[in-house]
């Protein structure tokens, strides 16, 4: 080995040191010690129009590749509902896929990393074996913001477990009409409850540090994810609850019902806001300069980025995509920063380049969009940690998270009826009986109890992921001497020929998402009503309803001995049995009005024609049974 004198060594070390300093001074955006605005400014000044437009483009996983990322400078990828690398993909497969895409982004001239978004709306729900939390309609019942924050933190860990760093949650819609197919994504008809539940945001993104500024995007590092308040604004107020439709509303009601939770979200540092497909008084939100730029950006001072919904800009015209150049112009002018294109990205990129090159859209608007996107990417530490590793995999579907989901299930149940008379309650049920009957299409079906946005976009009935069905939860809970008979839809003869002590009927709606969930009649599909009638007509019964919203139940209630609204509880069915059998008491209070007939709708608490079957805030409470 050649000998190097100590003095030469000192010179070499000094040279390396100065070279590094010089490089980072010339590439300020790469230096995490530089102030945020210096990094943003430095990077923006280096970018070509092509690179800027790439940042504004979000594409779906199905059309992404490392080459596409590199060639078009794409700023973001998403997984749409059910868009997974493979059926039952392991977290390692997710990580490999995402790192593969990221390496494409890092290989670009400036090496700007992409962010990867997914609808983690009740846990990391597209992912096999993830913990599936109750949908928002159930969480609103808990009125427990601390619990919701913990769910956010757990969801962030499970999202990071798959290498993902951006969740399209929370949905802060205020559903004013249960005929809306997305009512289950809404915490409540009451804006005050929805405001409380924005605690999901610090859960997902982390708490703004004590010396940090409120109201600016904040994402606390590698165990947290970027959140997204959606869908701005008025998505839950459309006429007859028709999805993506028109919200006819006075300014006063728009700002007192649908807007308040956005103030809270911005204050809590939400990094992104998604625009609604719907319109306000006939104006499509995707083209609404007044509400997006003048109000949200200028008045409220939102500093994160505004993202479109999936092909949302296409739907500015009727029929959708009739004039795509116009759609790009209107949406970017309105103030949208990132466009969830998400399939035909070259059409978007070419269209936007044309509009900027020909001065239809000023460069200042493009720079505003890109600055906001880069701000979020810098704040979250993406430049320092662009690649995922397997250290977080252990969090996916962990025991701790399943216990948290189980607690949320317990607190989301609402006891609507308990006994034919108040003096003879049926619940809590005795653990020890000779023989009991469990019935209904939702008693032994993980997919049904999870609802939409689970594994598939619309969810799916059947054994679609790991969890505890309500039937297995009941079996786990009763005394070993109790015989549990399960018949999905038993005949009256069968029931009468057996000597059941009591029956539990678990039935309700089948999974759906978005427009296919719209319903003008809100009836429970057959055989639900038949099962209720047959079982409750023959033996003492409790009905557990699995639904995304209040449904038509009045005709059957007099027949039942007890009725529990369990909403869409998710993978941890044990929480239902915990409360039915008195290990815990019922505490839940309706966060929605339960109507008598659909012709009363819309009907929300405070309305002059208010005449509900069960009013907002109703819920019978029980004490836990003391174990002897
Ligand atoms: C939904 C959004 C969702 C997006 C991405 C849209 O259809 O409206 O809530 O985040 O798809 O899957
Ligand atoms: C996607 C969903 C998206 C929907 C919008 C579906 O193909 O999987 O994520 O919300 O389209 O229409």
The CA 409 to ligand 2 mean position distance, Å, reads 27
Residue 1 has pLDDT above 50, yes or no: no
Question: How many beta carbons lie within 10 A of that of residue 445, not counting itself?
Answer: 24
Q: Which residue in this structure is represented by tokens 């590094």? A: 20
Q: How far apart are the first and last CA of the chain?
A: 80
pLDDT tens for residues 170-190? Answer: 999 999 999 999 999 999 999
Question: Do 557 and 563 contact (CB within 8 A), yes or no?
Answer: yes
* Residue 15: pLDDT band with limits 50, 70, 90: low
The CA 235 to ligand 1 mean position distance, Å, reads 12
pLDDT tens for residues 517-526? Answer: 999 999 999 9
Report the distance separating Cα 150 and Cα 24, nearest Å: 39
* Strands 115-118 and 305-307, bridge-based pairing: unpaired
Mutate which of 62, 80, 309 for ligand 2 pocket (most atoms within 8 A of beta carbon): 80
The CA 227 to ligand 1 mean position distance, Å, reads 14
Report the distance separating Cα 55 and Cα 53, nearest Å: 5
Three-state DSSP state, 74: coil
Three-state DSSP state, 456: strand
Q: What is the largest CA-CA distance in the chain?
A: 99
* Closest atom of ligand 1 to CA, residue 457: 12
Identify the nearest ligand to the CA of 272 by its number.
1
DSSP string, 183-247: GGG-SBSSHHHHHHGGGHHHHHH-PPPTTSPTTS----STT--B-EEEEETTGGG-GGG-TT-EE
Mutate which of 309, 341, 459, 517 for ligand 1 pocket (most atoms within 8 A of beta carbon): 309
The CA 342 to ligand 2 mean position distance, Å, reads 10
User: Whose CA is closest to atom 5 on ligand 1?
Assistant: 80
Residue 21 has pLDDT above 60, yes or no: no
Question: CB burial class (10 A; 0-12, 13-18, 19+) of residue 246?
Answer: middle
* Strands 246-247 and 279-280, bridge-based pairing: parallel
* Strands 483-486 and 166-167, bridge-based pairing: unpaired
Identify the nearest ligand to the CA of 458 by its number.
2
Residue 20 has pLDDT above 80, yes or no: no
The CA 273 to ligand 2 mean position distance, Å, reads 18
Question: Do 614 and 605 contact (CB within 8 A), yes or no?
Answer: no
pLDDT tens for residues 96-113? Answer: 999 999 999 999 999 999
pLDDT tens for residues 546-586? Answer: 999 999 999 999 999 999 999 999 999 999 999 999 999 99
Residue 371 has pLDDT above 70, yes or no: yes
The strand pairing partners of 544, in sequence order, are 506, 564
pLDDT tens for residues 559-569? Answer: 999 999 999 99
DSSP-based helix, strand, coil % in the chain, nearest 5: 40, 10, 45
The CA 83 to ligand 2 mean position distance, Å, reads 9
Report the distance separating Cα 341 and Cα 173, nearest Å: 23
CA distances from 512 to 275, 278, 386, 422 (A): 22, 19, 35, 36
CA distances from 319 to 313, 315, 316, 327 (A): 12, 7, 9, 12
pLDDT tens for residues 241-259? Answer: 999 999 999 999 999 999 9
Mutate which of 59, 80, 184 for ligand 1 pocket (most atoms within 8 A of beta carbon): 80
Nearest to 275 by CA among 324, 239, 311: 311
The strand pairing partners of 275, in sequence order, are 232
Q: What pLDDT score was predicted for residue 518?
A: 98
Say yes or no: CB of residue 82 within 6 Å of ligand 2: yes
Query: Which residues contact ligand 1 via a Cβ below 6 A?
Result: 80-81, 119, 168, 230, 309-310, 514
Average pLDDT over residues 341-348: 98
Report the distance separating Cα 358 and Cα 362, nearest Å: 9
Identify the nearest ligand to the CA of 307 by its number.
1
Question: Do 334 and 363 contact (CB within 8 A), yes or no?
Answer: no
Q: What pLDDT score was predicted for residue 580?
A: 98
User: Whose CA is closest to atom 7 on ligand 1?
Assistant: 310
Q: How many helices (H) and strands (E) does the chain have?
A: 22, 17
* Closest atom of ligand 2 to CA, residue 78: 9
pLDDT tens for residues 281-328? Answer: 999 999 999 999 999 999 999 999 999 999 999 999 999 999 999 999
User: Whose CA is closest to atom 12 on ligand 2?
Assistant: 310
* Closest atom of ligand 2 to CA, residue 310: 5
Mean pLDDT of the chain: 96
Q: Which residues are catalytic?
A: 309, 514
Report the distance separating Cα 545 and Cα 188, nearest Å: 18
Report the distance separating Cα 568 and Cα 136, nearest Å: 9
Q: Which CATH class is domain 413-614?
A: alpha beta
Mutate which of 79, 81, 172, 452 for ligand 1 pocket (most atoms within 8 A of beta carbon): 81
Q: How many residues does the chain have?
A: 628
Say yes or no: CB of residue 386 within 6 Å of ligand 2: no
Residue ranges, comma separated, of all CATH 3.40.50.1700 domains in the chain are: 413-614
Three-state DSSP state, 487: coil
Report the distance separating Cα 518 and Cα 243, nearest Å: 7
The CA 37 to ligand 1 mean position distance, Å, reads 31
Sheet with 76-79: strands ordered across: 166-167, 115-118, 76-79, 57-60, 339-340
* Closest atom of ligand 2 to CA, residue 513: 10
Report the distance separating Cα 144 and Cα 471, nearest Å: 27
Say yes or no: CB of residue 277 within 6 Å of ligand 2: no
* H helix or E strand, kind and range, residue 349: helix 345-357
Residue % of the chain over a pLDDT of 90: 95
Q: Which value, in Å, is the radius of gyration of the alpha carbons in the chain?
A: 26
The CA 512 to ligand 1 mean position distance, Å, reads 14
* pTM for the full predicted model: 0.95
Residue ranges, comma separated, of all CATH 3.20.20.300 domains in the chain are: 40-395
* Domain 40-395, architecture per CATH: Alpha-Beta Barrel (3.20)
Residue % of the chain over a pLDDT of 70: 96
Average pLDDT over residues 434-442: 98
Question: Do 407 and 575 contact (CB within 8 A), yes or no?
Answer: yes
């Amino acid at each position: 080995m050649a000998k190097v004198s100590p003095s030469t060594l000192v010179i070499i070390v000094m040279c390396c040191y100065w070279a590094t300093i010089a490089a980072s001074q010339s590439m300020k955006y790469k230096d995490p010690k530089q102030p945020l605005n210096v990094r943003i400014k430095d990077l923006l000044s280096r970018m070509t129009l092509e690179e800027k437009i790439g940042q504004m483009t979000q594409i779906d996983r199905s059309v992404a590749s490392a080459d596409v990322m590199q060639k078009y400078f794409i700023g973001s990828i998403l997984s749409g509902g059910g868009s997974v690398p493979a059926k039952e993909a392991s977290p390692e497969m997710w990580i490999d896929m995402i790192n593969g895409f990221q390496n494409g982004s890092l290989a670009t001239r400036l090496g700007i990393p992409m962010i990867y978004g997914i609808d983690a709306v009740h846990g990391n729900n597209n992912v096999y074996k993830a913990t599936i939390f109750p949908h928002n309609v159930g969480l609103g019942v808990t009125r427990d913001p601390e619990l919701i924050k913990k769910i956010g933190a757990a969801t962030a860990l499970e999202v990071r477990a798959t290498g993902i760093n951006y969740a399209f949650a929370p949905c802060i819609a205020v559903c004013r009409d249960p005929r809306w197919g997305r009512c289950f994504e809404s915490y409540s008809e009451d804006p005050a409850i929805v405001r409380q539940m924005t605690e999901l945001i610090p859960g997902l993104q982390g708490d703004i540090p004590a010396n940090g500024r409120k109201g600016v995007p904040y994402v606390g590092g590698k165990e947290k994810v970027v959140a997204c308040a959606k869908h701005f604004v008025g998505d839950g107020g459309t006429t007859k609850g028709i999805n993506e439709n028109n919200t006819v509303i006075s300014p006063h009601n728009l700002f007192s019902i649908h807007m308040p939770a956005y103030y809270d979200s911005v204050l809590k540092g939400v990094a992104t806001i998604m625009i609604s497909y719907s319109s306000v008084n006939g104006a499509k939100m995707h083209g609404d300069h007044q509400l997006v730029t003048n109000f949200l950006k200028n008045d409220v001072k939102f500093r994160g980025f505004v993202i479109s919904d999936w092909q949302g800009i296409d739907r500015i015209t009727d029929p959708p995509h009739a004039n795509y150049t116009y759609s790009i112009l209107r949406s970017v002018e309105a103030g949208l920063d990132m466009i969830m294109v998400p399939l035909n990205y070259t059409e978007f990129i070419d269209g936007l380049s044309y509009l900027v090159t020909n001065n239809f859209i000023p460069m200042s608007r493009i720079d505003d969009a890109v600055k906001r996107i880069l701000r979020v990417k810098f704040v979250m530490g993406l430049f320092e940690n662009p690649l995922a590793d397997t250290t977080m995999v252990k969090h996916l579907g962990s025991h701790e998270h399943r216990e948290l989901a189980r607690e949320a299930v317990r607190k989301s149940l609402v006891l609507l009826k308990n006994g034919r008379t108040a003096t003879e309650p049926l619940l809590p049920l005795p653990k020890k009986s000779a023989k009991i009957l469990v019935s209904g299409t939702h008693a032994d079906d993980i997919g049904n109890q999870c609802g939409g946005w689970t594994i598939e976009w619309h969810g799916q009935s059947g054994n679609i992921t790991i969890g505890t069905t309500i039937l297995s939860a009941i079996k786990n809970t009763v005394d070993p001497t109790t015989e549990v008979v399960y018949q999905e839809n038993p005949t009256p003869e069968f029931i009468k020929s057996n000597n059941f002590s009591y029956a539990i009927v678990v039935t309700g709606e089948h999974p759906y998402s978005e427009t296919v969930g719209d319903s003008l009649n809100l009836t429970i599909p057959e055989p639900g009503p038949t099962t209720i009638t047959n079982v409750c007509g023959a033996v003492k019964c409790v009905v557990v309803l699995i639904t995304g919203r209040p449904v038509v139940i009045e005709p059957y209630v007099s027949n039942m001995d007890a009725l529990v609204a369990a909403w869409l509880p998710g993978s941890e069915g044990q929480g239902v049995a915990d409360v039915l059998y008195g290990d815990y008491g019922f505490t839940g209070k309706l966060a929605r009005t339960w109507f008598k007939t659909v012709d009363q709708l819309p009907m929300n608490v405070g309305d002059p024609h208010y005449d509900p079957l069960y009013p907002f805030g109703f819920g019978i409470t029980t004490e836990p049974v003391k174990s002897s």
